[in-house]
């Protein structure tokens, strides 16, 4: 890396157009998980790297070199093993603790650059940024300034797309990533001409908001480029692409903003913990242990956002017998229950959750996945103490705080409930995880 302070482009306020329509930028980390792994293994900086999903199931992040070697996104690990061996690709299990910390550093950098209120964290590796109206040159220059600063401060390289709407900014970012040499990872689509040229070159399936089934539908109707979609009427889009969603999509492609910057609500409306089993299970006890463990993880997330839940849903997924060419999950067998009052106390959630298992478990079937979802969330501080239960029960929340503190400072699961079991033969595989360099003392990066 050769970024000297002098290389940083200065934000060019000359180009700001007073009173014009503002611009939006999407800042997207390049191969984020791979970049995080490389940060602590500089020897891998030019080598192909991939990162696996939970359970070492699928490939979820690929470095450019791995993409070039022909490793596809989201394919099962075992299917890529021959390519991995052939090209000597470095493989990591996902290390969410590390990625979460580096993500925070990137977002903080953006907040410092453009102001806290102008950053909307969209996912672990992406953020939308609100910008004033600017000339095309000023926009491109500002994108470069963001990219270089983030890379210099955090070591993570990002791509930047800038345009009048979120959907066009995503399209700009797609082009920025597609040809990094040419774009230097920054593309701005400010003028109508720039937007037309860009949309003509992008296939409709690569547009943000067009997933697999809409893409198939559109192509069958003869609409293949993003430009063709842009030119369809709003009524048509509403009818074909799911109502207001479709209408919004074509408007955004035309440069009319319909998707606003979101207030940063870090309070989720639903909290889920779901996992594939390390190996399939058929006994009800293992499933109950898994459900208890997932409930306890979900409850922890619940308390972190200071909420309590009223509704508990659980599901289990049987392993299909036939190995069809088209892999798909399902059927998913689920059930739910609503509690008389919302709670965030783990054992008050575990008990009903485990009871639900009996309702859907079938003797003799083999299961591969299970999950717990908590919904009907309320603010924890507003929950009334219940007058009709012993006072000791209202102290549950304090016990939970203690447990969370101990688990946070020691190890994630040093304290747990007996229902979670101790054998854990259903536990997920994670054989290739790197150390949590930035958040655990005993795993800190060493320089010798």
Residues at the contact surface with DNA, assessed by CB under 7 A? 53-55, 57-58, 60, 74, 76, 78, 122-126, 170, 207-215, 242-245, 268-276, 280, 297, 301, 323, 327, 329, 336, 338, 368-369, 371, 428
DSSP secondary structure code for residue 94 in this structure: -
Residue 119's beta-bridge partner residues? Answer: 129
Residue (9 or 333) nearer to DNA, CB: 333
Give me the least distance between CB of 422 and DNA, in Å please: 20
Q: Which is nearer to DNA, 99 or 227 (CB)?
A: 99
**Least distance in Å: CB of 262 to DNA?**
8
The Cα–Cα gap between 368 and 280 comes to 5
Q: Could you give the residue ranges of the DSSP H alpha helices within 115-232?
A: 136-154, 166-178, 180-183, 192-201, 212-220, 226-230
Helix, strand, coil share (%) of the chain residues, nearest 5: 45, 20, 35
Min dist. Cβ of residue 332 to DNA (A)? 8
- Which structure tokens are listed for 169? 């900014």
Closest contact distance (angstroms) between CB of 159 and DNA is: 12
In the complex, minimum distance from the CB of residue 324 to DNA, in angstroms, rounded to a whole number: 8
Residue 56 or 348 with smaller CB distance to DNA = 56
Q: Which is nearer to DNA, 15 or 242 (CB)?
A: 242
State the minimum distance, in angstroms, from the CB of residue 102 to DNA: 14
Question: With respect to DNA, which residue has the nearer C-beta, 138 or 171?
Answer: 171
Looking at beta carbons only, is 16 or 234 nearer to DNA?
Answer: 234
What's the CA dihedral at 379, 381, 386, 391 to 10 degrees? Answer: 140
Say if residues 154 and 109 touch (Cβ distance below 8 Å): yes
Of 191 and 267, which CB lies nearer to DNA in the complex structure? 267
Neighbours of 422 (CB within 10 A): 7
Q: Tell me the C-alpha distance between 364 and 52, whole Å.
A: 31
- Distance (Å) of CA 79 to CA 76, 201, 219, 333: 5, 32, 29, 28
Query: What's the min distance (Å) between Cβ of 322 and DNA?
Result: 11
Question: How far apart are the C-alpha atoms of 172 and 179, rounded to whole Å?
Answer: 11
């Amino acid at each position: 890396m050769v970024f000297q302070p002098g290389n940083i482009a200065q934000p060019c306020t000359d180009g700001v157009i007073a009173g014009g329509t503002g611009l939006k930028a999407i800042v997207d980390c390049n191969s984020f998980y791979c970049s995080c792994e490389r940060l602590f293994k500089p020897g891998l900086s030019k080598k192909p790297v991939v990162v696996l999903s939970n359970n070492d199931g699928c490939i979820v992040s690929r470095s450019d070199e791995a993409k070039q070697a022909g490793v596809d996104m989201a394919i099962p690990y075992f299917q890529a093993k021959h390519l991995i061996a052939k090209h000597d690709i470095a493989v990591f299990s996902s290390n969410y603790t590390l990625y979460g910390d580096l993500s925070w550093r990137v977002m903080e950098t953006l907040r410092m650059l453009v102001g806290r209120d102008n950053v909307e964290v969209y996912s672990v590796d992406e953020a939308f940024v609100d910008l004033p109206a600017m000339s095309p040159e000023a926009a491109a220059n500002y994108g470069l300034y963001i990219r270089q600063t983030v890379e210099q401060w955090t070591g993570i390289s990002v791509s930047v797309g800038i345009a009048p709407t979120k959907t066009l900014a995503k399209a700009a970012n797609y082009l920025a990533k597609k040809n990094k040499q040419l774009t230097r990872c920054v593309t701005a689509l400010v003028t109508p001409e720039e937007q037309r040229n860009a949309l003509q070159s992008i296939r409709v399936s690569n547009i943000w908001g067009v997933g697999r089934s809409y893409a198939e539908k559109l192509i069958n109707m003869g609409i293949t480029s993003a430009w063709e979609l842009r030119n369809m009427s709003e009524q048509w889009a509403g009818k074909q692409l799911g109502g207001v969603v479709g209408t919004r999509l074509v408007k955004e492609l035309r440069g009319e903003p319909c998707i606003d910057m979101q207030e940063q609500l870090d309070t989720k409306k639903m909290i889920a913990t779901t996992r594939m089993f390390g190996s399939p299970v058929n006994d009800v006890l293992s499933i109950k242990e898994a459900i208890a463990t997932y409930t306890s993880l979900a409850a922890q997330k619940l308390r972190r956002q200071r909420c309590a839940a009223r509704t508990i849903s659980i599901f289990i997924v049987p392993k299909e017998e036939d190995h069809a060419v088209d892999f798909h999950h399902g059927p998913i067998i689920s059930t739910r229950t609503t509690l008389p009052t919302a709670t965030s106390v783990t054992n008050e959630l575990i008990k009903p959750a485990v009871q639900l298992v009996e309702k859907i478990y079938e003797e003799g079937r083999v299961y591969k996945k299970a999950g717990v979802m908590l919904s009907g969330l309320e603010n924890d501080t507003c929950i009334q103490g219940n007058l009709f239960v012993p006072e000791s029960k209202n102290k549950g929340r304090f016990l939970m705080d203690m447990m969370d503190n101990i688990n946070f400072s020691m190890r994630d699961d040093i304290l747990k409930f007996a229902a979670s079991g101790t054998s854990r033969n259903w536990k997920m595989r994670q054989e290739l995880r790197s150390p949590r360099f930035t958040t655990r003392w005993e795993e800190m990066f060493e320089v010798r």
